[in-house]
Chain A
Amino acid sequence: MPGKIITVSSGKGGVGKTTTTANLSIALAMLGYRVTCIDADIGLRNLDVMLGLESHVYYDIINYVEGHCRLRQAMIRDTRYPELSLLPAAQTRGKEALKVEDMVRVAHEAAEMAQFVIIDSPAGIEHGFRYATAPADLVLVVTNPEVTALRDADRVIGLLEADGYAPAQLILNRYNPELVRKNGMLSAETVVDLLAVDLIGIVPEDSKVLAASNQGQPVALDDRSAAGRAFRDIARRLSGEDVPIEALQERKFLRKLFGSRRKELA
């Protein structure tokens, strides 16, 4: 059976797509799954750096599509987790070098060799978004708890719904429960309510993410990182396990203690 193809998308740039792709890929490999991640951000290659694999790049996805190498040659195997491999983006080409049908073919070929194929999309809702989401069985929409990022996420969800291809699930990244408690940040409940989409995970704001990316050691590898734990939980959910969402559990507990505000207003 071919593996599941998951695309990580967002609309807005800088919300954590590449961070999410790197961490979920590592976390799934840590669970023992064969994982191939594909960097579809042609021209802005980053996934190799986040995974600490940049010095192993010889060929890229465009080289393969244009027939200059075999798929296996372009794929880099992670030495920490041999189950994990990366198909890097081309750095000196443009997005137009990758046609939608090429991306679909590459993703399906990768899915023949892996249990999960995770695709990191470029920002925007144009061609790069189209080719990255075209092969997906599931699209993970990454967003931050701020109005601009959420608006863009809603656009992406709307486009996916209109296409009717793949279901979308939301990852709320850079969440700050402390700030939410002080009413300074949109709560996960409000976000889910307004976007009316399935939530697959909440990743807290965590300073370890930046250091991890600079060191090429994704936080999922760090036992003490809260963001790392959140990514590992999402990976378990993707593998079919029923793992409660920690940040929501906390709030349910508080509400039990103090009663919900909605009830008070009623």
Chain B
Amino acid sequence: MKLFDLFRRRSSSTQDIAAERLRLVLTHDRANIAPGMLEVLKDEIIAVISKHLDIDADKVVVNFTEDNRETRLMADIPVHTARSRRAEGKV
């Protein structure tokens, strides 16, 4: 397979770029939210969660996943615990 890989492009092809851009517009269109608004939403989620939990705001990831025309909003929010604080040497 390695030899065959030589014949494949290394960097992103037009095809890959088109697929990624299409995926992005479809997701936002289907969820009816402008891409920029997702950032605003993320900040609000961080603000709300922070009231109750000690979270690592910099590492929060909020995005959509798509499966067979079903859209889900996924939020990955790392929570600080006694152990993680120790690991980061903050205590």
Q: Hey, which bits of chain A sit against chain B, CB under 8 A? A: 146-147, 150-151, 154-155, 158, 161, 180, 183-187, 190, 194-196, 258-259, 264
Residues of B near A147 (CB, < 8 A) are: 18, 21-22, 25
* Chain B minimum-CB-distance residue to A181: B15
**When the two chains form their complex, are residues A183 and B14 in contact, meaning their CB atoms are under 8 A apart?**
yes
Whether A186 contacts B18 in the complex (CB less than 8 A), given A196-B68, A196-B69, A258-B4, comes out as yes
Whether A151 contacts B15 in the complex (CB less than 8 A), given A196-B68, A258-B4, A264-B1, comes out as no
Whether A154 contacts B9 in the complex (CB less than 8 A), given A147-B25, A194-B23, comes out as no
CA distance A161 to B29 in the complex (A): 14
CA distance A187 to B19 in the complex (A): 9
Q: Among the interface residues B1, B13, B15, B30, which one has the most CB atoms of the partner chain A within 10 A? A: B15
**When the two chains form their complex, are residues B15 and A195 in contact, meaning their CB atoms are under 8 A apart?**
no
B16 part of interface (Cβ distance < 8 Å): yes
B26 part of interface (Cβ distance < 8 Å): yes
Q: How far in angstroms is the closest Cβ of chain A from B66?
A: 8
CA distance A146 to B18 in the complex (A): 8
Q: How far in angstroms is the closest Cβ of chain A from B69?
A: 4
Residues of A near B29 (CB, < 8 A) are: 151, 154-155, 158
Main secondary structure of the interface of B (DSSP, over half): helix
**When the two chains form their complex, are residues A154 and B30 in contact, meaning their CB atoms are under 8 A apart?**
yes
In the complex, besides A180-B15, A190-B15, 16 extra interface pairs with C-beta distance below 8 angstroms are A146-B18, A147-B22, A150-B26, A151-B29, A155-B29, A158-B29, A158-B30, A161-B69, A185-B18, A186-B15, A187-B15, A194-B23, A194-B26, A259-B1, A264-B1, A264-B5
CA distance A128 to B89 in the complex (A): 65
CA distance A150 to B29 in the complex (A): 12
- Cβ contact of A194, chosen from B4, B9, B15, B19, cutoff 8 A: B19
5 A-B Cβ contacts within 8 A? A155-B29, A161-B69, A183-B9, A185-B15, A194-B19
**When the two chains form their complex, are residues A183 and B22 in contact, meaning their CB atoms are under 8 A apart?**
no
CA distance A258 to B13 in the complex (A): 19
CA distance A161 to B5 in the complex (A): 41
CA distance A161 to B4 in the complex (A): 42
**When the two chains form their complex, are residues B26 and A185 in contact, meaning their CB atoms are under 8 A apart?**
no
Q: How far in angstroms is the closest Cβ of chain A from B25?
A: 5
Residues of B near A185 (CB, < 8 A) are: 14-15, 18
Question: Which 7 residue pairs are nearest across A and B when measured between Cβ atoms?
Answer: A183-B13, A183-B15, A196-B69, A184-B14, A147-B22, A196-B68, A186-B18
Q: How far in angstroms is the closest Cβ of chain A from B35?
A: 13
Residues of B near A264 (CB, < 8 A) are: 1, 5
